[in-house]
Amino acid sequence: MSSTTDYEVSRETFSDTVAAAAVRARDHLLGLQSDQGWWKGELETNVTMDAEDLLLRQFLGILTPQEAEETARWIRSQQSEDGTWATFFGGPADLNATFEAYVALRLAGDSPDAPHMRSAAEFVRANGGIARTRVFTRIWMALFGEWSWDDLPVMPPELVLLPSWFPLNLYDFACWARQSIMPLTIIGSLRPKRSLGFEIDELRVDVPPKPPAPLRSWPGAFERLDAVLHRYERRPLKLLRRHALRRAAEWIVVRQEADGCWGGIQPPWVYSIMALTLLGYPMNHPVIVAGLRGLERFTVRERTPAGMVRRLEACQSPVWDTALAVVALRDAGLAADHPAVVRAARWLADEEVTVAGDWAVRRPALAPGGWAFEFDNDLYPDVDDTAEVVLAIERILGPGYGQGLGYGQGPGYGQSPRHGRDTADPSPAPGGLEAAEPQLAARLRDAGRRGVDWTIGMRSAGGVWGAFDADNTRTLPTKLPFCDFGEVIDPPSADVTAHIVEMLAEVGQANSPITERAVQWLLDNQEPGGSWFGRWGVNHIYGTGAVVPALIVAGVPADHPSIVRALRWLVEHQRPDGAWGEDLRSYTDDTWIGRGEATASQTAWALLALLAADPASSAVERGVRWLVDTQRPDGTWDEPYYTGTGFPGDFSINYHLYRLVFPLTALGRYLSGRSAS
């Protein structure tokens, strides 16, 4: 018996094993779909969300003992053995998270003399106490008289009056930052002080003030400007201040979404509720009622051996999750007219954004289109979600979709190895959704066309894309003393641009000047080691896993030097067990780049790049085998590690669906590539 025959038999057996794993993953994913057609995995962050929820309710006078105890159970369960809290699983102790968790537990009745509280307080004191916490944490303490408003940076509400061309106007900030800053200008100008019911003297440490920055530096200049604004705050122009407060309130109210949220994210939501109540909005005002009621949708309650726990999601990702799920299921071979796909298609069509939002300040002539991340966030669609939804629509409608949108077919369209099929024929495939639901197919085609057009219109000056706004690149906001809480601008990034390049190539625009310019930017912005930086996912594995498939489908040959360097980087960073992993500390410490505990999502990202450019690589077989070997019996994977990014180095996310949709996509593309070979 020849060794070649044995090898072929073993590969065939392995393919059967992979196929069985894909079926288990597919069935598990199908079981998670809602009756309305969407998928949504929990979006897990850190305990500051839960601590601030208790502080909000204490500030408003509505905190109940049950809410306090259930939340406290969750916060206690997340405490590390050394008494601290981190901002991501397995991460280092974080001062702000530990401080806020400690205060929340005291609010829930935990004694400062309890061992778990003493160890937390010791860490806070050892790291400078309240004086060394971030601005947001000190604002929360100022709200309760535990920090002086005079010792906080000033952001006056008159900011709302600045025109969009003026430096440091609201629209120089990223959408998530401007939505938080606007209500905070109201809060900071009114300087409220409520009671916690206790003092936190045990968290105070005498620390020397930080020396002023040099005057001939931006930080130094803004420190002097902050001193001037403090003097203005003591005696503001009354008429101007009243006008600014009224305009600020109007700005906030018109941006409340249908479910009561602001931007679908926690920070502006809680600050907006507080700001409006301080301006006299009663608790029974429809805006406040809707805001508080909407928070319930973001509340997760779970029974544990210790009792019921309560925690908050900082955001929710149903549009993103649903698009990723459709791509995974279709790439794994599920029929386009399968009931689950049809339900998802209908829901995605209904979620199209058809109104102008803040993005129109920079692009006033651009027609609305696209999709947002959340259930209700019509004012802030983003091009990353839009690209992924269009890719899902392409999977649903099949070959010829690009032509159906009115775009020409370029060489290479639909011939990415990830499909395992040649779709160069521009005529729509018979059957599928076109035959089963022709009206829905037409709706999707029209929505997809509008989404593509809107995305193209949202290019920044360099021909590439940030996530939410065009040309949101002025760096002055990052120099403000107030802005120490993470990213405050939304410049173009490689991962977002790659998703859009992939989308444009899939709909037949691989050879358009728009796509070619973006491709060149990606090639020019490759990291020296061969990877690409990941803005919205951790980190270089995410960026590289996004860019390589996009370049391949856009027509860059697999033997291009940039592709070769990228694949070499991936192979060099594959773990001995065949998996990939990268720790969030790679954002702040280069020694962590490409290194970390193995995760299913990051292994899948690396595989997507390899499958696109070098599917015969032995690294592919090893990575796929790791996924198969670590799959749970129910079809999904364990993944406590955070692989999603909010603000690089500051705010991290564990998308609970990532551990399922990306491995399923990788397994599906592996199998389709094998069947086509």
* Residue 288: count of CB within 10 angstroms of its CB: 18
Q: Please give the pLDDT value at position 248.
A: 97
Sign of the torsion formed by the C-alpha atoms of 267, 272, 277 and 283:
negative
314, amino acid identity: A
Q: How confident is the model at residue 413 (pLDDT cuts 50, 70, 90)?
A: very low
5, amino acid identity: T
Q: Which residue has the higher pLDDT, 546 or 480?
A: 546
Residue after which a domain boundary falls, among 261, 291, 312? 312
Contact 385, 323 (CB under 8 A): yes
* pLDDT reading at 483 higher than 70: yes
Average pLDDT, the chain: 91
How far out from the chain centre does Cα 345 lie? 22
Q: How confident is the model at residue 330 (pLDDT cuts 50, 70, 90)?
A: very high
Q: How confident is the model at residue 404 (pLDDT cuts 50, 70, 90)?
A: very low
DSSP state for residue 529 in the 8-state scheme: T
Q: How far apart are CA 555 and CA 517, in angstroms?
A: 13
What average pLDDT does the segment 272-295 reach?
97
| Residue 380 located in a structural domain | yes
> What region does 430 belong to: left with phi over 0, alpha with psi -120 to 50, or beta?
beta
364 and 232 part of one domain: no
Q: CA-CA-CA-CA torsion for 500, 656, 589, 74, nearest 10 degrees?
A: 140
Question: 41 burial class (0-12, 13-18, 19+ CB within 10 angstroms)?
Answer: buried
Q: How confident is the model at residue 213 (pLDDT cuts 50, 70, 90)?
A: confident
**Nearest residue to 273 (alpha-carbon basis) of 265, 258, 262, 257:** 262
280 and 333 part of one domain: no
Give the chain's radius of gyration (CA, Å).
Answer: 26
| Residue 177 located in a structural domain | yes
| Residue 567 located in a structural domain | no
Q: How confident is the model at residue 5 (pLDDT cuts 50, 70, 90)?
A: low
Containing H/E element for 167?
none
* pLDDT reading at 415 higher than 80: no
Q: Which two three-digit tokens encode residue 285?
A: 């005002």
pLDDT digits (tens, 9 = 90+) for 217-242: 888 888 888 899 999 999 999 999 99
Containing H/E element for 275?
helix 266-278
Containing H/E element for 308?
strand 307-312
160 and 299 part of one domain: yes
290 and 346 part of one domain: no
* pLDDT reading at 303 higher than 80: yes
**Domain CATH for 162:** 1.50.10.20
pLDDT digits (tens, 9 = 90+) for 41-79: 999 999 999 999 999 999 999 999 999 999 999 999 999
Q: Please give the pLDDT value at position 150.
A: 94
The catalytically annotated residue of 321, 376, 384, 469 is 384
Q: How confident is the model at residue 11 (pLDDT cuts 50, 70, 90)?
A: low
Q: Which residue has the higher pLDDT, 298 or 6?
A: 298
Counted residue by residue, the chain has a size of: 677
Q: How far apart are CA 335 and CA 397, in angstroms?
A: 11
Q: How far apart are CA 55 and CA 627, in angstroms?
A: 42
* pLDDT reading at 411 higher than 50: no
Residue after which a domain boundary falls, among 252, 281, 312? 312
339 and 417 part of one domain: yes
131 and 105 part of one domain: yes
| Residue 553 located in a structural domain | no
Q: Which two three-digit tokens encode residue 624?
A: 């796929």
373 and 399 part of one domain: yes
172 and 294 part of one domain: yes
Tell me which of 207-216, 244-253, 435-444, 631-640 is least confident: 207-216
| Residue 540 located in a structural domain | no
Cα–Cα separations (whole angstroms), residue 402 to 397, 408, 426, 452: 10, 7, 8, 10
What average pLDDT does the segment 82-101 reach?
97
**Nearest residue to 641 (alpha-carbon basis) of 577, 572, 608, 595:** 595
Q: How far apart are CA 555 and CA 505, in angstroms?
A: 8
What average pLDDT does the segment 88-114 reach?
97
Tell me which of 232-246, 321-335, 401-415, 551-565 is least confident: 401-415
Contact 547, 411 (CB under 8 A): no
| Residue 23 located in a structural domain | no
Q: Provide the domain limits for residue 380.
A: 317-493
Contact 639, 631 (CB under 8 A): no
Q: Please give the pLDDT value at position 210.
A: 82
- Give me the half-sphere count of Cα atoms (radius 13 Å) on the Cβ side of residue 376: 15
* pLDDT reading at 414 higher than 50: no
222 and 330 part of one domain: no
Q: How far apart are CA 333 and CA 660, in angstroms?
A: 16
The residues facing 645 across adjacent strands are: 652
146 and 99 part of one domain: yes
Q: How confident is the model at residue 446 (pLDDT cuts 50, 70, 90)?
A: very high
Task: Tell me the three state secondary structure of residue 526.
Answer: coil
The total domain count for the chain is 2
Q: Please give the pLDDT value at position 497.
A: 98
| Residue 15 located in a structural domain | no
Q: Please give the pLDDT value at position 399.
A: 58
Contact 611, 418 (CB under 8 A): yes
* pLDDT reading at 272 higher than 90: yes
Q: Which two three-digit tokens encode residue 627?
A: 């996924």
Q: Please give the pLDDT value at position 215.
A: 79
Q: How confident is the model at residue 153 (pLDDT cuts 50, 70, 90)?
A: very high
DSSP state for residue 213 in the 8-state scheme: P
Q: How far apart are CA 185 and CA 190, in angstroms?
A: 9
What average pLDDT does the segment 374-379 reach?
92
* pLDDT reading at 390 higher than 90: yes
164 and 208 part of one domain: yes
Q: How confident is the model at residue 185 (pLDDT cuts 50, 70, 90)?
A: very high
Catalytic status, residue 206: no
Q: How far apart are CA 568 and CA 531, in angstroms?
A: 9
Q: How far apart are CA 235 and CA 237, in angstroms?
A: 7
Q: How confident is the model at residue 424 (pLDDT cuts 50, 70, 90)?
A: very low
What average pLDDT does the segment 581-590 reach?
96
What average pLDDT does the segment 491-515 reach?
96
340 and 196 part of one domain: no
| Residue 35 located in a structural domain | no
Q: What percent of the chain has pLDDT over 90?
A: 84
* pLDDT reading at 409 higher than 90: no
* pLDDT reading at 403 higher than 80: no
Q: How far apart are CA 588 and CA 559, in angstroms?
A: 32
Q: Please give the pLDDT value at position 212.
A: 83
Residue after which a domain boundary falls, among 459, 493, 527? 493
Q: Please give the pLDDT value at position 572.
A: 98
Contact 136, 100 (CB under 8 A): no
